[in-house]
Amino acid sequence: MDYDAGIGWHDPRIVPYQPLVMDPAAKVFHYGQTVFEGMKAFRAKDGRIRLFRPDAHLSRMNRSNVRLSVPLLDEELVLEALRQLILADRDWVPGTEGTSLYIRPFIIATEPLLGVAPSRQYRLIVILSPVGAYYAEGIRPVRIHVEPDYVRAVAGGVGAAKTSGNYAAGLKAQEEASKLGYAQVMWLDGVHRKYIEEVGSMNVFFRLGETVVTPALSGSILAGVTRDSVIRLLRHWGIAVEERSLSIDELVEAHRAGTLLEAFGTGTAAVVSPIGELQWQGEPQVIGGGVTGALAKRLYDAVTGIQRGSESDPFGWMVDLI
Ligand code: PMP
């Protein structure tokens, strides 16, 4: 689908996967004016093809559009377009345990003009890709490096939007952490350099005694759809959740005192990813004995059960395409 100033979004169409032909001066190449989303479709045991919380993903896409000065989408129209696109190739939606169809809508600024101003032309493209089970060998905790130097985003910037620049800003730290043997980077805030923000492409949760704590949406972290789902499930189960600022010092102190019982990340790809070790200033902090915590496992089973249709869906998160 394309956008032209004066016309608006127009011309939704399904075409075979193919390379794009673009003008080298297209604004997206120079000024990074682009927005994307990542969501999933699942095939239930009875054959139904269903999306997980498409409304939440599309409204977040429009919030990203506002921040990046990209014209708003008609969310219902895009949902209908996704329905037609997925059903056109419905055999690509895998049905075995843990598999799904990953959906990547993205918007690029296509106006060929080397001036720093919002583009007057855009294209919205959707890529579909079947994905295998994230935990083919069973759910396994990851080791995370807490980043002391590089900053991913600051409040007032674009950190709360799903836009490519945030990921470009994280590549160097990610590369250095992986050389040290860590799977992902945990980011701290850019002002005080001590408040926990998020992990790579996941939001993060800590079980501190009887309470679950997750960083508040500070303006520089992504409002994860899985984060919101996990918070709702925990509260539904009567477990206290605090959304607040949480410093790395408080976490290290809780670890010393034995009250840091579990840590896990949440995101569309992994759903819930237990964290077995945090490395801060050269000191590895092993969490929960380095094994998957009970709460992380319970949340993983609950969310994936709703997605697969083997559990009831108390919040109405699944949207049937057929
Ligand atoms: N933070 C960042 C930076 C991400 O890229 C993602 C993945 N979209 C998340 C958090 C988790 O968000 P969600 O649960 O919506 O996938």
In the structure encoding, which two tokens stand for residue 77, read together?
């129209």
Backbone angles phi, psi at 106, to 5 degrees: -150, 150
- Is residue 60 within 6 Å of ligand 1 at its C-beta? no
CA distances from 76 to 57, 81, 259 (A): 12, 9, 45
* Residue of 268, 271, 272, 300 to test ligand 1 pocket, by largest number of atoms within 8 Å of CB: 268
ipTM: 0.99
Atom of ligand 1 nearest to the CA of 200: 3
Cβ pair 224, 269 in contact under 8 A: no
- Distance of alpha carbon 115 from alpha carbon 138, whole angstroms: 50
Residue 26 is predicted with a pLDDT of 98
pLDDT at 195 over 80: yes
Range 217-239 average pLDDT: 97
- Is residue 220 within 6 Å of ligand 1 at its C-beta? no
How far does residue 314's CA lie from ligand 1's centre (Å)? 23
**Which one has a higher pLDDT value, 132 or 75?**
75
How far does residue 6's CA lie from ligand 1's centre (Å)? 33
What's the longest Cα–Cα distance across the chain?
A: 62
User: Which residue CA neighbors atom 10 of ligand 1 most closely?
Assistant: 202
DSSP string, 29-70: HHH--EEE--EEEEE-TTS-EEEESHHHHHHHHHHHHHHTTP
Backbone angles phi, psi at 147, to 5 degrees: -85, 115
List every span in the chain annotated with CATH 3.30.470.10.
Answer: 2-131
pLDDT at 135 over 90: no
List every span in the chain annotated with CATH 3.20.10.10.
Answer: 142-308
How far does residue 309's CA lie from ligand 1's centre (Å)? 23
How far does residue 203's CA lie from ligand 1's centre (Å)? 6
Q: Does domain 142-308 have CATH number 3.20.10.10?
A: yes
Backbone angles phi, psi at 157, to 5 degrees: -85, -150
Residue 133 is predicted with a pLDDT of 85
pLDDT tens by residue, 243-294:
999 999 999 999 999 999 999 999 999 999 999 999 999 889 999 999 999 9
- Is residue 274 within 6 Å of ligand 1 at its C-beta? no
SS3 (DSSP) at 215: strand
Name which of 61, 62, 67, 84 is nearest 12 in CA terms: 84
pLDDT at 112 over 80: yes
% of the chain with per-residue pLDDT over 70: 100
User: Which residue CA neighbors atom 2 of ligand 1 most closely?
Assistant: 201
How far does residue 230's CA lie from ligand 1's centre (Å)? 13
User: Which residue CA neighbors atom 4 of ligand 1 most closely?
Assistant: 201
Helix (H) or strand (E) holding 141: none
Residue 208 is predicted with a pLDDT of 97
Atom of ligand 1 nearest to the CA of 267: 14
pLDDT at 14 over 90: yes
Residue 138 is predicted with a pLDDT of 80
pLDDT at 186 over 90: yes
Strands 260-267 and 203-208: what pairing?
antiparallel
pLDDT at 134 over 90: no
Range 135-162 average pLDDT: 93
Cβ pair 114, 25 in contact under 8 A: yes
Categorize the per-residue pLDDT at 164 as very low, low, confident or very high, splitting at 50, 70 and 90: very high
- Is residue 164 within 6 Å of ligand 1 at its C-beta? no
SS3 (DSSP) at 154: coil
Range 168-174 average pLDDT: 97
pLDDT tens by residue, 32-67:
999 999 999 999 988 999 999 999 999 999 999 999
Atom of ligand 1 nearest to the CA of 198: 1
CATH number of 2-131: 3.30.470.10
Amino acid at 171: L
H helix runs in the chain, sequence order = 27-31, 54-67, 75-88, 164-179, 225-236, 248-257, 294-308
Categorize the per-residue pLDDT at 188 as very low, low, confident or very high, splitting at 50, 70 and 90: very high
User: Would you tell me how many other CB atoms lie within 10 Å of the CB of residue 247?
Assistant: 15
